[in-house]
Amino acid sequence: MKKQFVILALALAFCLQLSAQTYKIDTSAINFENQLRPCFTVKYDASPKEVKKAWDDYFKKTYDVKVKGIGFLTNKEVITATDITLVAVSDKRMNLYASVVDAPGERSELSYFMSFGYDFFIGADNYPTEFAAMKKILNDFSVEFLTDFYYSEASRMTSEIKGLEKDIKQNNKSIKKNTKKARKESKEVANGLSAKNTSMEMENDQAKKKIEELSKAIDEIKVKQAGVKRN
């Protein structure tokens, strides 16, 4: 009985660890040029456009590699960097590919694969060392990207909360001023001021509701930030 309890506790701890992990890299295959190619796949909370830009920025900054297919006048599903040297993977010339598409729940899915020349795609079976090196790069990118992304999201929401709190404070001042003024005005004017106060009170209620939603979202982001772990 004690042994069964220990096994159950370990299984529960493992499940909790997985649920706390913000991103997960899977080994998969993608249909490219009418054939299945080995790849790594990972989902992010960000939009495809945000992921593509971050991918380009990361490779440009880290490896001096320019990714094509993302920019002011182009936004391709598969972005590439061809005939490059990526010493973190191999000293041979190679091609880099990343397919970034929409995923359920306002997320995006990145599928990342590489090849030596025209038809020598890197996989666990034919190039295990290079394939493992590819995963390391994807982990490096994911940690850096998500850390920056969640920080930016939390900062944006915090700024929005401060703006809403400022609006509430301003409305409360106006309500107080209108209430005081209404005592000295005619009934018609007082009714108009009362209507304005009611409108501002409704705005405040909506703002408070929005603040609650944003505060909850920030708490969720903090959990995700803690779960940004290599895998």
pLDDT of amino acid 8: 40
- Topology of domain 21-145, CATH: TATA-Binding Protein (3.30.310)
Look up residue 143 and give its two tokens: 């940690």
Look up residue 223 and give its two tokens: 């959990």
Which residues on neighbouring strands pair with residue 31, listed in sequence order?
36
Length of the chain: 231
Sequential DSSP letters for 149-206: HHHHHHHHHHHHHHHHHHHHHHHHHHHHHHHHHHTTS-HHHHHHHHHHHHHHHHHHHH
pLDDT of amino acid 75: 67
Percent of the chain exceeding pLDDT 70 equals 90
* Residue extents of the structural domains in the chain: 21-145, 151-226
pTM of the model: 0.84
38-83: pLDDT as tens digits: 999 999 999 999 999 999 999 999 999 999 998 765 668 899 999 9
**Residue 109: CB partners within 8 Å, gap ≥ 6?**
41, 42, 43, 44, 100, 101, 102, 103
